[in-house]
Structure 1
Amino acid sequence: MEYMSEEGYNKILAELKQLESVELPRVREAIAEARAQGDLSENFEYHAAKREQGRILSRIRFKQRVLEHARIIDRTLLGSDTIGLLSKVEMTNVANQMKMTYTIVNPHEANILEGKISIKSPIAKALTGKKTGDTVTVQVPAGTLQLRIDNITLG
């Protein structure tokens, strides 16, 4: 079972519907057109369309499994005194005083460009359970970070 936000659940559901109702019919049509051209053994378009169909079907099965095991978190039951899933954390890198803000989310919702990091990431693991004012040491691929937690809110 995986917990996620309602927005994350809806985003995965929308992607699944797009794959099933738009992408899969498009590739099936391409397969039918390529098949109509005759000899399939040397038909590049046919083989490319079949590979694309396999990729789409695999993606559909993956999204279905994610949704099957997903549970939407009721934000009203979450507290903002300690860091956990869906916490928005404002922190400062102690070494260079650089401020950063991340929301801790399910791995399927993670998107660094949107400021969302996976709860399974090194930074989120180090932050989980901590409170405002705490300083944590995080081992990341680039080295070690000292982060001071400035504020915690619900993301």
Structure 2
Amino acid sequence: MSAIPITVAGFERLQEELHRLKHVERPAVIEAIAEARAQGDLSENAEYDAARERQGFVEGRISELDGVLSNAQVINPTELETDGRIVFGATVEIEDLESGDKVVYQIVGDIEADIRHNKISVSSPVARALIGKHEGDVVEVSAPSGQREYEILSVRYE
């Protein structure tokens, strides 16, 4: 498996989730399975089936997080020589030149992308257009609705 780029904050969030799954969720599921088994006949025991299903989810997520964290390449943009260029981890404010709408995005790895929190994947069309550019540049992005132009208003490294 190749290196998975991730921000410092994203790495810490995944470590916290893994710790919670291993030390809170897993023991709770094991206890729920034991309680359901104590009720007797497992063939018609909905609580047992639900607990086993939850155990499968928890174990799957633990396995996924172990893999991601062991292959993570933690990138701290504050430690990079950027010369004002947009790089992985940068927080960028852009303005749509057609509508005048402004939005702030942080460019993150695929595993931590979350548009609701304005974190876009480094492999997204917008991020690919922004990487390497500077404050004041205008970039063109191919969007499902057609070509869009954005002006880069500010670049921060957090």
| TM-score higher than 0.5 | yes
Where does 1:22-101 land on structure 2 (aligned, <5 Å)? 22-74=24-76, 75-101=78-104
Deviation at 1:80, TM superposition (A): 4.8
Instruction: Return the match for 1:9 from 2, 8, 11.
Output: 11
Matched, 1:137 2:140: yes
1:118 aligns with 2:121: yes
TM-score scaled by structure 2?
Answer: 0.90
> Residues of 1 paired with 2:113 and 2:8: CA distance?
14
Asked if 2 retains the 8 angstrom alpha-carbon contact of 1:80 and 1:153, the reply is no
- The one-letter code of the counterpart of 2:73 is R
TM-score by length of 1: 0.92
Q: How much is the aligned-residue C-alpha RMSD, in angstroms? A: 1.5
Letter in 2 for 1:28: I
Give the partner amino acid of 1:50.
R
How far did residue 104 of structure 1 move? 0.7
Match of 1:18 among 9, 15, 20: 20
Task: List runs of 5+ in structure 1 lacking aligned partners.
Answer: none
Structure 2 stretches of 5 or more lacking a match? none
Deviations 1:38-79 (A, max 9, x none): 111111111111011001000000000010001222432241
Distance 1:142 1:38 in 2: 58
Note the alpha carbon deviations across 1:99-136, whole angstroms, 9 max, x for none.
Answer: 11111111222222332211122211111122222222
Amino acid at match of 1:125: R
